[in-house]
Amino acid sequence: MAKTGTASLTIAELREFASFTEDEQLFIERSLDVGLGRGDAFKAWSGRDADAIRSQYLAYRELRALRELIPCETSLDGVQDFLGALIRISAQDLVQEQLTSFSAYRFLYERLLGAKARPWLPAAFCGAAALPQIRPFRRKTLLQSLSEAAATAPAWSEREPCFYPEKVEAEAASVRGKIFETVTAGASMAAPAAQSLINCRSNSALRLSRVSRSFKAACSRLVQENAIASPIAAKPSVSRPPRMPQIRSVSLSSRPSMRSMSLSV
């Protein structure tokens, strides 16, 4: 049950990430590289704006302290210190105009800060999006993206995210795009596409070890879940020539009154 629940959550996260624009996806991947310390972001994103990456490094230095300062939902103690810093960091990300919706913002920051920060993200998003540093038209788009359900949610899940997107090379990215297209149709269709990413090889530069580790793990869970849920579908059907009927002699001697007879099978 736990494996099935984790795989279902991964499918939902894959589907949500696939719904974002290409700029949002790239910005989330780059921000996670910076915020979680996944290698050298300057080298991995050499074709991007170096000043923006540098500003993110400076702003995200406070994330480690913020993870320890998440206040309790039933108290106002520590709200000023936490929300003040979070709004400032969020505003620096929104000013770059790569995130166009609250869903993309929440997807990023629940991975930067953890699941416990989810109840505070709508307030931080609204505070950052309403600042005068955001252009008026952009401000309107951001604030309208916050749905009523998200703004008035009575509670938020405390389950940590499973899928942490990372930048992948060209060959793996094309396979990942196919997975994003098929994952919206269900796990049974996503699993074969996920298996193609796990088995992908390159003849030169691309190596399997350079493909996103977390993405491969998520794909593995999809494949395992599909194999468990539908073991027959996991095996390819092989066409065989029709078998010729065989004739054998069967003797029925269970009753003394019956004679032996031959049956054609």
171-198 confidence digits (pLDDT tens): 455 555 555 555 555 545 555 555 555 4
Alpha helices in the chain (DSSP H): 2-18, 22-35, 41-44, 50-59, 63-68, 79-95, 102-112, 121-129, 136-144, 148-151, 170-183, 187-198, 213-229, 231-234
Confidence of residue 76 (pLDDT cuts 50, 70, 90): confident
Whole-number pLDDT of residue 50: 82
pLDDT tens by residue, 206-221:
333 334 455 555 666 6
Looking at residue 179, its pLDDT comes to 56
Residues 132 and 174 in one domain: no
User: What value does the mean pLDDT take over residues 229-233?
Assistant: 38
CA-CA distances (angstroms) from residue 237 to 39, 185, 224, 233?
A: 44, 22, 19, 9
Please report which confidence band the pLDDT of residue 256 belongs to, taking 50, 70 and 90 as the band edges: very low
Q: For residue 145, is it within any domain?
A: yes
pLDDT at residue 10 in the model: 84
For the segment 76-93, the average pLDDT, to the nearest whole number, is 92
Q: Which domain holds residue 26?
A: 2-151
Instruction: Looking at the structure, tell me whether residues 79 and 176 fall in a common domain.
Output: no
pLDDT for res 21: 92
- What's the structural domain count of the chain? 2
Is residue 21 in a domain? yes
The pLDDT-based confidence of 234 (bands split at 50, 70, 90) is: very low
| pLDDT beyond 60 at 45 | yes
Residue 77 lies inside a defined structural domain of this protein: yes
Q: What is the largest CA-CA distance in the chain?
A: 103
Residues in the chain: 265
* pLDDT of res. 204: 32
Q: Within this chain, do residues 138 and 208 fall inside the same structural domain, yes or no? A: no
pLDDT at 42: 80
- Give domain status of residue 78, yes or no: yes
Q: Residue written as tokens 């540098």? A: 54
Residue 84 and residue 11 share a domain = yes
- Residues 182, 142 within the same domain: no
Helix (H, G, I), strand (E, B) or coil at 2: helix
Same domain, 116 and 220: no
**Residue 261 maps to a domain:** no
Looking at the fold, whether 29 and 146 belong to one and the same domain comes out as yes
**Distance separating alpha carbons of residues 262 and 265, to the nearest angstrom:** 10
Residue 107 and residue 194 in one domain? no
pLDDT at 192: 53
Q: How far apart are CA 183 and CA 81, in angstroms?
A: 40
Residues 177 and 147 in one domain: no
Is the same domain home to 13 and 122? yes
> Do 121 and 19 fall within a single domain?
yes
Rounded to whole angstroms, the Cα distance separating 121 from 3 reads 28
Distance of alpha carbon 103 from alpha carbon 106, whole angstroms: 5
Looking at the fold, whether 142 and 16 belong to one and the same domain comes out as yes
Q: Which of 8-12, 27-31, 259-263 has the lowest mean pLDDT?
A: 259-263
Q: Is residue 260 part of a domain?
A: no
The structure's pTM equals 0.67
Q: By mean pLDDT, which of 50-64, 104-118, 160-174 is the weakest?
A: 160-174
